[in-house]
Amino acid sequence: MQGPEDDAGLSGKVALISGGGAADDGIGNGRAAAILLARAGTKVMVADRELRLAQRTVEMIVAEGGTAVALGCDVTREADCKALVEACIDGFGRLDFLDNNVGIGSRGSVVEEKPEEYRRVMQINVESMFLLSKYAIPAMIKTAQGGAIVNISSISALRPRGLTTYTTSKAAVIGLTRAMAVDHGADNIRVNCICPGPMYTPMVYARGMSEAARAQRAKASVLKLEGTGWDVGHAVKFLLSNYARYITGQVLVVDGGVTLQAPERESQDH
């Protein structure tokens, strides 16, 4: 007898991915999630502040026979978040999934950080998820009678290492996730969080990274492996699927075991 756990429940559904672009053909966390969901039959709205980056993700999806639409959006603006959800409903008729994937890094202690930079990081890393969820959740309830949300945090939320503002913002993402899970469980909406470790993504290597630094990051994992956007994308796909139907308000650490070892102050953001 087939149970709900035997059906991934992704085909025919609609997902909204913020931060779904990436430089050139690089695989960032959002692009990987968008591609993997599309391969499973999900229709994907790919949003990014730079439209051309989202369009490239869509081109990659369409080339494989998937369905996706790109939209330029600044998710720190409430009007943009509202318009993004409306575009999703207008284009696909429903909204089932949301992957809150936007974030930036920062370095320094509270003494070193400028107040304006602290506010900027909190706005982009936390408030953007608040705003997009604010409009996505009612749409999920109305058009799909429920849904699932994944918020992207970081292992910096669990293991501070000299990136105080970034750590604070990513810890807030965990708190937001748990609160949303409690608030909207009765609406049949699951909300979970992923904490990636040191992934090799376009956002990281665009700043410049030597092969030695890259190898050192891989050694930080107890598996001695390098994480990529695909690792996060597969985790997003799992948490949005029916395989995770009894999982909500949880934090999934995707770091190869980096957080099992003693923390070190890092020169590269996670």
What residue ranges define each of the domains in the chain, with the CATH number in brackets? 8-254 (3.40.50.720)
pLDDT score at 206 = 65
Question: Which letter, b or e, does each residue of 230-239 get, where b requires 16 or more Cβ atoms within 10 Å of its Cβ?
Answer: bbbbebbbbb
- 246 included as an active-site residue: no
Q: Which residues contact 41 (CB under 8 A, 6 or more apart)?
A: 10, 11, 12, 13
Indicate which residue of 135, 166, 200, 243 is catalytic: 166
pLDDT score at 128 = 98
pLDDT score at 268 = 44
How deeply is 166 buried, as exposed, middle or buried, from its count of CB atoms within 10 A (0-12, 13-18, 19+)?
buried
- Spell out the per-residue pLDDT of the chain, length 270, in tens: 444 445 799 999 999 999 999 999 999 999 999 999 999 999 999 999 999 999 999 999 999 999 999 999 999 999 999 999 999 999 999 999 999 999 999 999 999 999 999 999 999 999 999 999 999 999 999 999 999 999 999 999 999 988 999 999 999 999 999 999 999 999 999 999 999 999 888 777 767 677 887 788 888 899 999 999 999 999 999 999 999 999 999 999 999 999 998 765 554 444
pLDDT score at 53 = 97
pLDDT score at 217 = 80
pLDDT score at 263 = 63
pLDDT score at 162 = 87
pLDDT score at 265 = 54
For 128, the enclosing helix (H) or strand (E) is helix 128-144
pLDDT score at 123 = 98
pLDDT score at 7 = 74
Number of H helices and E strands in the chain, helices first, is: 9, 9
